[in-house]
Amino acid sequence: MSLEVLTSWENLEFGLPEERACACHLKINLFDQSLTYVEDLVRHETRNGVHVSAYPLAEWLAWNWWRLRWEPRRATLSWRLAHCLTSVGEGYIWPNITVVSDGERVLISAEPTTGSAAEPIRYLSNHAGVIRADAFEQTIDAFVERTLGRLRDQRIPATDLHTVWAELLDERANSFCAERRRLEAILGFDPDEADTGMLERMAAEGSRYGFSAIEEIAATASASGHVSTIEQLRDLVAREGAAGNPRETVNVPALADLPAYGSVEAWRLGVKAANALRESERLGVEPIDNRKLENMLAIRNDSVKKHPERKAFAFGFDYGNQERRIVLRSPYEVNRRFEAARLLGDRLFKSGSDELFIAPTTYTYRQKLQRAFAAELLCPVKGAQEMLGDDASDERLDDIAEYYQVSDRLVRTLLVNNGILPSDSMRIDREPQADRDEDRPAA
């Protein structure tokens, strides 16, 4: 399996009955690489595993299951407590493993710990990998069920874990409950913490406009939990949106031959789609001007060039096959081009499925696919490499950015992620093919 959580049951003489019953030697492996490789500072030895109790880990996984499965990365303490195993606690030293979902796939990363005089072990693993979300679910389910089986064998029938897990399974089996728990998690709330009225409103909007788009809006929620309503977005797009005709969107038949959505890394699928579009339009590695970009997205000319007030995110509505209206986020033209390309990628993959489509600002699979698509469409890596030649100076990168009308950071990130420039030429984020700094103009 891609992810394994292995337990060898042991004896423990202290602690609560359920904790003693589930004492074990725990090993966590990802693609046959150990995430629990430790140095024993007392015995001066290393080993692949750690002596803990499986009970608190199983309880933590059950309680945080919805957030682990659906919540995108956020720079908050609440997010870290729900996504990093170091917060399991209960007196044990847990590995520094972080779980990050983009909705379709799950990034699991382990980093070494520094250790201290008060801690007898130090984790040495430094490894990360991405697995399918269903594989993550299967592994966690199996581990929790195995822990419950151990409790049963030890004649401990009623614990908090039994209660939490039974409730979780009921929620997952009920589509109504599951959708609300999923929205809560995407918003960054623990179960039953989100405002009920807001959840009901968002669920109703999802039924009308498509749950995938509503979930992407939920992922953009601020720390206070504020989420734009569909009514607010419709009012904004009616006032400021660029108009067009959905039927005139560029057609790319080759997209039907690409891997299924979610089946491969988002960046890989985005790049393949961009290349398919460039090939069908016979663009080679030439730059795409605003007029061409607007025509492919089927919006009126000069929509990209306008510099309105900054918005929370770029989005659009398709009113059947008759009308399209979009709003772009940034006041800078170079970034508005990138946003327009992202929305084009979203329409090509989601055409006809949702009336509302958006370019989300958080690290969902949809966002990563869009960004990879937009980067390759606007600045094909082959063309950038040809222009670069043997000159990797900042000035040459600026020339490439100006030629393709993209940000200089996009060019640098693209070349680093494709191994053309060394990784030490910039700080590389974990998400490949991404131009993070959308809000600044090209240098």
Tokens linked to 141:
């389910």
pLDDT on residue 424: 64
Is it the case that residue 439 has pLDDT exceeding 80? no
Tens digit of pLDDT for each residue in 298-309?
A: 998 888 987 778
Confidence band (pLDDT; 50, 70, 90) for 429? Answer: very low
Answer whether residue 281 shows pLDDT above 60.
yes
Lowest mean pLDDT among 33-37, 72-76, 129-133, 173-177: 72-76
How far is residue 34 from each of residues 55, 96, 142, 280, measured CA to CA in Å?
21, 12, 19, 45
Domain boundaries, the chain: 3-171, 228-425
Average pLDDT over residues 282-304: 92
Cα angle at 415 between 412 and 387, to 5 degrees? 90
Write out pLDDT tens, residues 227-256: 888 899 999 999 988 999 999 999 999 998
Could you give the CA distance from residue 266 to residue 104 in angstroms, rounded to a whole number? 9
The reported pLDDT for the residue numbered 340 is 95
**What is the structure's pLDDT at 425?**
57
Confidence at residue 12, expressed as pLDDT on a 0 to 100 scale: 85
| 102 to 4, 212, 213, 431: CA distances (angstroms) | 20, 13, 14, 10
Give the DSSP H or E segment for 41: none
pTM of the predicted protein model = 0.85
H/E segment holding residue 100? strand 96-101
Least confident of 92-96, 278-282, 323-327, 348-352: 348-352
What does the pLDDT average to over 399-408? 93
Q: Look at residue 224 in the predicted model and tell me its pLDDT.
A: 53
**For residues 270 and 354, is the Cβ–Cβ distance under 8 A?**
no
Query: What's the pLDDT at 123?
Result: 94
**pLDDT level of residue 431 (50, 70, 90 thresholds):** very low
**What is the average per-residue pLDDT within 419-426?**
74
pLDDT recorded at residue 442: 35
Higher pLDDT, 141 or 352: 141
pLDDT at 274: 96
What pLDDT sits at residue 434?
36
Pairing mode of beta strands 356-359, 314-319: antiparallel
Contacts for 187 with CB less than 8 Å, ≥ 6 apart = 194, 218, 219, 221, 225, 227
Q: Tell me the CATH architecture of domain 3-171.
A: 2-Layer Sandwich (3.30)
Residue 300, pLDDT score = 87
- Averaged confidence pLDDT in the chain: 89
Taking residues 50-62, what's their average pLDDT? 97
